[in-house]
Amino acid sequence: MGHMERNMGERHDRTASTRKGDAKAYAIWGTAMLGYVFAVTCRSSMSATGITAAEHFHTTSTALSMFLYLQLFVYAIMQIPAGVLLDRFGARKLIATGGFLMAFGQTLMAVAPVTGLAIIGRGIVGMGDAMTFISVIRLVSAWFPLIRVPLMNQLTSMLGGIGQIISIYPFVWLLDLTGWTAAFLSLTGVGVCIASCVLLGVRDDPRQHGRRHEPPQGGMKAALGGLRAAVRTPGTFCGFWAHATTWFSINMMNQLWGFPFLLAVEHWSRNQASAYLAIGMVINVAWALIMGRVAGLHPIHGRAAIIYTTVGAQIICWTILLLTPGPHPTWFMWVLLLAISSGGPASNIAFDFARDTNRPENLGAATGFANTGGFLSSAIVFLGVGLMLDAQGATDPSLYTDHAMRVAVLIQYPLWALGLTAFTIMLPRTMKALRERLHR
């Protein structure tokens, strides 16, 4: 069966390679990637400067947490509207618009005299961020052969992590050197330059003449019709549940609860926990290359196997960890890190399901819908862990005990159960649609 899948992918690749995947395609993708790296830099800029932000705005930790939740909330609710706009106006305009919006949001962050205005700025950054990733994914589908698209999607997601490195090191260095206002205004200038480069250098499709995007006939009404068609497509929901089920565990550890969990359960120092989570980012890259290759060569059974294997490994490792006393052996913690780090690259399989079962003109809406899955499940886990800690009386980090943290992270299990069940229900119809697509 794997040989048949590989042959189908190769046949499709040969028909498309005459006009896709050349040097121009990589130049277009590289220019668009500047926009995505900038988006991740803006997304990470507040988490990298949390203490400085508290001092600058003279605010509390609770108020500062609004920046993180607002970013996640705005990003999630904007995915479907951004997908519809992507189908209507094209990737070039959306990436550029996102860049300009993020630049404006960072300007508000730079000059805001009060926390409320800065939070509005953060919301505007979230709007621009929401437009960027799915637009780059759309360009990859347009400019590269089908068999190479899964790997390019993985590279897109992983290379975007450069933005997080920029926010942690060069941006923090600039902040210390020049101060809050100048540092954030520098992001404004970079964003305007990148958005301008995208407008000048990116084309939505190899067949496009000039910079004019050919919108679907019927305008916005047709784009909304595309959303309805995408929602009716089984691969869209299959992608949604794949994204929702694979990603929240590593997101929980990296974004919010990893440090307190490792300190309370494993009794690690902050430096040990930081190094552990940082190594997970490197493991992400290795998983991305492996999974991208497998998903491209085995587009039917390989993708489903990745989802089940990743989620199964996460469930098994977390169950062993929670049922046994800590601190755990080093080898087991490495196995746990391998398992949860696979969730990020595995979540990108969602876009393969959405892409290969939808019509090209509906791809923006389908990708945006699928991309909401992991953000919604992550928001539930972020909030759920906090609520379960509060319910146990652990209302302050000094009260986070081994038992309290173990109970709190149990919130993952209902989401795994729901996600795997829904994914399994949608999978047969999705696989049928994939076979029909690849046999054409």
Q: What is the DSSP string of 154-192?
A: HHHHHHTTHHHHHHHTHHHHHHHHH-HHHHHHHHHHHHH
DSSP H stretches of helix in 362-411: 363-391, 402-408
DSSP structure class, residue 256: I
What percentage of the chain reaches a pLDDT higher than 90? 46
The domain locations on the chain are: 15-215, 224-440
According to the model, what pLDDT value does residue 339 have?
96
Over residues 88-116, the mean pLDDT reads 93
The torsion angles phi and psi of 145, rounded to 5 degrees, stand at -60, 150
d(CA 358, CA 371): 15
User: Is pLDDT of 214 > 50?
Assistant: yes
d(CA 10, CA 33): 27
User: Is pLDDT of 199 > 50?
Assistant: yes
According to the model, what pLDDT value does residue 343 have?
94
Average pLDDT, rounded, for the chain: 86
Give the list of residues 6+ apart from residue 116 with CB closer than 8 angstroms, or none. Answer: none
Look at 246 and 392; give whichever has higher pLDDT. Answer: 246
Terminal-residue alpha carbon distance, the chain: 18
Q: What is the pLDDT of residues 304-342, one digit of tens each?
A: 999 999 999 999 999 999 999 879 999 999 999 999 999
User: Is pLDDT of 217 > 60?
Assistant: no
In the structure, what pLDDT confidence band is assigned to residue 285 with cuts at 50, 70 and 90? confident
- What is the torsional sign of CA 135, 139, 142, 144? negative
Asked if 186 contacts 179 with a C-beta cutoff of 8 angstroms, the reply is no
Specify the fold of 224-440: Growth Hormone; Chain: A; (1.20.1250)
User: Is pLDDT of 210 > 70?
Assistant: no
User: Is pLDDT of 428 > 70?
Assistant: yes
In the structure, what pLDDT confidence band is assigned to residue 4 with cuts at 50, 70 and 90? very low
d(CA 153, CA 136): 9
| Token pair listed for 195 | 């958005």
Q: What is the pLDDT of residues 247-282, one digit of tens each?
A: 999 988 887 788 889 989 999 987 888 788 888 888
Asked if 232 contacts 226 with a C-beta cutoff of 8 angstroms, the reply is no
Over residues 358-375, the mean pLDDT reads 87
Over residues 184-194, the mean pLDDT reads 96
Q: Residue 138: how many CA atoms within 13 Å on its side-chain side?
A: 35
Which amino acid, one-letter code, is at 200? L
Over residues 357-366, the mean pLDDT reads 85
**Residue where the block lists tokens 């209302």:** 395
Does the reported pTM lie above 0.75? yes
Architecture of domain 15-215 in this structure? Up-down Bundle (1.20)
Asked if 159 contacts 26 with a C-beta cutoff of 8 angstroms, the reply is no
Buried b or exposed e, range 102-120, using 16+ CB within 10 angstroms: bbbbbbbbbebeebeebbe
In the structure, what pLDDT confidence band is assigned to residue 223 with cuts at 50, 70 and 90? low
Task: With residue 98 as reference, give the H or E element that holds it.
Answer: helix 91-111
According to the model, what pLDDT value does residue 59 have?
67
